[in-house]
Structure 1
Amino acid sequence: MAEQITAADIKPWRSDTTAPFIRISHLTKTFGDFTAVDDVSLDIWKGEIFCLLGGSGCGKSTLLRMLAGFEVPTAGKIEIDGQDMAGVPPNVRPTNMMFQSYALFPHMTVENNVAYGLRREGLPRDEVRDKVAAMLKMVQLEKFAARRPHQLSGGQRQRVALARSLVKKPKLLLLDEPLGALDKKLREETQFELMNIQDRLGITFIVVTHDQEEAMTLATRIGVMDAGRIVQVGEPRQIYEHPHSRFVADFIGTVNLFEGKVEIAAPDRMRVQTDVGPILVNPVEGLSASQSVAVAVRPEKIVLDREPVPGENTLQGKVMDYAYMGDITIYKLGLPGGKTIKVSQANMGYDRNPITWEEEVFIGFPASAGVVLTR
């Protein structure tokens, strides 16, 4: 009988028996009166692609630089593979860092850029040549070995920087906005290349990004940061479907927030009186009548039609604007009382009579579509 593979085997953060590869404990970094990283504690497991996601100035790059050893923590502790990193200089840590600017040597060929770190370690020439050739083959740049950075496209320069970061086989690779300089289509293609390379090498990646789609695509788990703190950690689906706060719900993707108070809080039924009327949601433990909450509903979970929509929550509105995006159409609707919401519809086929501006429409969504937020 074959041994059963559980979710904890594939995703060790779901298990209590697998020790984290990286332990960050109560980490703080201040610059004068400004606190860039504020009492962050975080565990990351071996083989993860962990994304630190947040807006500009939230502290994610400072946290990455402390992991690399380029910044000294004001307080707290970092352990990598069981070793305390206090006092360990960057060049001795089992890490490497790939910068947003790529920081390639313009006067060196691709081959020499990738070989630079190995030669600094004094490895034999044949060993350096073999390792560089293998890495260039992995990133599909073996035909460009003799070129210089200015002779490459943005995507090719990004892969040179990645090869140089990986050729020394670090235990941990830190990537600061690694795809930020690429155009949208190339960025999407490179995301999958990056995932394939990481899977083949088994190296732990920590990626800093402000791009939510990039984090959702790359990450095994995401840590959402705001004002120096990590406000939620989870797998991409968990973060998107079950945000813990208004900030996370609004930051990850697009969301409609209906503010209100709990009207009925029964074990089998919950109703929230909101700014657009009563909304039925799935029961949530620990909530009571008159408690202030918000109901978050994603645009793709709402049905839009010219006729009344059957379901647990139905409303009527007017099309204020819309955008045809090819695969989906996004509608901006005005509801009674002046509130506006967004609804997205998949374009399953060519519609000769699509809903358009100024039309009176109906929307509906099930109780299960609403996420109740108390923060």
Structure 2
Amino acid sequence: MSDAITVTGLKPWTDPNAVPFLKINNVTKKFGEFTSVNNVSLEIFKGEIFCLLGGSGCGKSTLLRMLSGFEDLTSGQIIIDGQDQAGIPPYRRPTNMMFQSYALFPHMTVEKNIAYGLKRDGLPRAEIATRVTDMLSLVQMGAFAARKPHQLSGGQRQRVALARALVKKPKLLLLDEPLGALDKKLREETQFELIKIQESLGVTFVVVTHDQQEAMTLSSRIGVMTAGKIVQVGTPREIYEYPQNRFVADFIGSVNIFEGRIAEDGESHVVVACPEAGLGIYVPHSISGVIGQKVAVAVRPEKMQISKDDLGDLRNKLSGIIDEIAYMGDSSIYQIRLDSGKRVRVNQSNLFRSEESSLNYGDRVNLGWAGNAGIVVTS
């Protein structure tokens, strides 16, 4: 989380008096009998980097195209900066769109690519030159102004496409998988460049991505989509630490899911009877449920401890056999097979340099987690 809103500590989505910059009201899009976007409502505030996150076919790109005007709504309403966008064509909306393919003109130089939209709008030559120069400086591409797209790296083409989208000063910039064409290392570096550029301009970004890490790095908030619906909206921390349902828990990052039924439901805790874990899992928060209700407990792998020794006073403790070990450099991943046959994943940071770990294939180990590391999900 790194946009200007978060850095300054201001969170307008928590203020009931704050006015949303973008309002999506009960928007639906159907293609024949198929519903791509299903009654979506969403509020996004000025200066946010808001990420729509979901798998292929979940409706996120269709929703983005409706915001831009490239797709008509079947029903619902889109309001940008207080203006209903119904009937307004793409070229008259206060938006611009950056596509995954970048769509640069191959016969034009970097400078001419950036200037193209301004020339189409009939702006004075002097203003065009000033805006293009400023934008080249912002994306650090001034030294490449005379080059053509084929003479640029993937990251450089990405910055040119971003400059071309921003030079027209849109109120809302829509980005469809903007970093998808870059390799992993370059994508990670470019994420922070994108954040700096957004912070310097204050433009509201709506980013479509299927990459969880990208969404977590870029966004002030995330909307998780599946089957045409937004199933949870929250900050990256809220989405990761407090998933509201099983889909979000399973979709975001890695997670261990323990199936069971509510055995004890107190005012400040729940105990879930879990045969596959061989114990009643203690969770120190209450839920809306009844005794005997089928639920699941989600525990992130990095919140679990693993050792050949006893784990002391941890509330939830299991044991099993190490089936697999993956050394990842900064951490190691252990796949543990419980006596019930269930496989559990544990991530352990490699804090010290060592030629070999004390944990090996076939070892019987103890694993466990603090009560507040787990969260009950009910659907």
Same fold per TM (> 0.5)?
yes
1:228-243 equivalent positions in 2, closer than 5 A: 228-243=228-243
Are 2:268 and 2:286, in contact at CA under 8 Å, matched by a contact in 1? Answer: no
Match of 1:346 in 2: 349
Are 1:333 and 1:340, in contact at CA under 8 Å, matched by a contact in 2? Answer: yes
**Shift of residue 157, structure 1, vs aligned partner:** 0.3
Measured in 2, the distance between the counterparts of 1:125 and 1:267 equals 69
Match of 2:264 in 1: 264
Measured in 2, the distance between the counterparts of 1:168 and 1:43 equals 24
1:8-19 equivalent positions in 2, closer than 5 A: 10-19=10-19
**Shift of residue 306, structure 1, vs aligned partner:** 1.0
1:64-213 equivalent positions in 2, closer than 5 A: 64-213=64-213
SS at match of 2:129: helix
Determine whether 1:325 maps to 2:325.
no
Match of 1:218 in 2: 218
Are 2:53 and 2:209, in contact at CA under 8 Å, matched by a contact in 1? Answer: yes
* Residues 192-251 of structure 1 deviation map (CA, whole Å, 9 limit, x = unaligned): 000000000000000000000000000000000000000000000000000011110010
Are 2:263 and 2:291, in contact at CA under 8 Å, matched by a contact in 1? Answer: yes
The partner residue of 1:283 within 253, 260, 285 is 285
Letter paired with 2:371: A
Measured in 2, the distance between the counterparts of 1:352 and 1:178 equals 40
Are 1:23 and 1:44, in contact at CA under 8 Å, matched by a contact in 2? Answer: yes
1:293-372 equivalent positions in 2, closer than 5 A: 293-310=295-312, 311-354=314-357, 355-372=359-376
Letter paired with 1:276: A
Are 1:8 and 1:15, in contact at CA under 8 Å, matched by a contact in 2? Answer: no
SS at match of 1:372: strand
Measured in 1, the distance between the counterparts of 2:117 and 2:94 equals 14
SS at match of 2:28: strand
Gaps of 5+ in 2: none
SS at match of 2:259: strand
Over aligned residue pairs, what C-alpha RMSD do you find? 1.4
Measured in 1, the distance between the counterparts of 2:165 and 2:270 equals 52
Letter paired with 1:347: N
Scaled by the length of structure 1, the TM-score of the pair is: 0.97
Q: How many residues align?
A: 371
Are 1:85 and 1:93, in contact at CA under 8 Å, matched by a contact in 2? Answer: yes
User: Percent identity over the alignment?
Assistant: 60
SS at match of 2:71: coil
SS at match of 2:36: strand
**Shift of residue 353, structure 1, vs aligned partner:** 4.0
Determine whether 1:57 maps to 2:61.
no
Letter paired with 1:168: K
Gaps of 5+ in 1: none
Are 1:154 and 1:181, in contact at CA under 8 Å, matched by a contact in 2? Answer: yes
Measured in 2, the distance between the counterparts of 1:269 and 1:62 equals 41
Letter paired with 2:345: K
Are 2:322 and 2:337, in contact at CA under 8 Å, matched by a contact in 1? Answer: yes
**Shift of residue 288, structure 1, vs aligned partner:** 2.4
SS at match of 1:10: coil
**Shift of residue 8, structure 1, vs aligned partner:** 9.9
Measured in 1, the distance between the counterparts of 2:196 and 2:6 equals 23
Scaled by the length of structure 2, the TM-score of the pair is: 0.96
Letter paired with 1:56: S
Measured in 2, the distance between the counterparts of 1:126 and 1:268 equals 66
**Shift of residue 112, structure 1, vs aligned partner:** 0.1
Letter paired with 2:118: L
Are 2:28 and 2:76, in contact at CA under 8 Å, matched by a contact in 1? Answer: yes
Measured in 1, the distance between the counterparts of 2:83 and 2:12 equals 20
SS at match of 1:338: coil
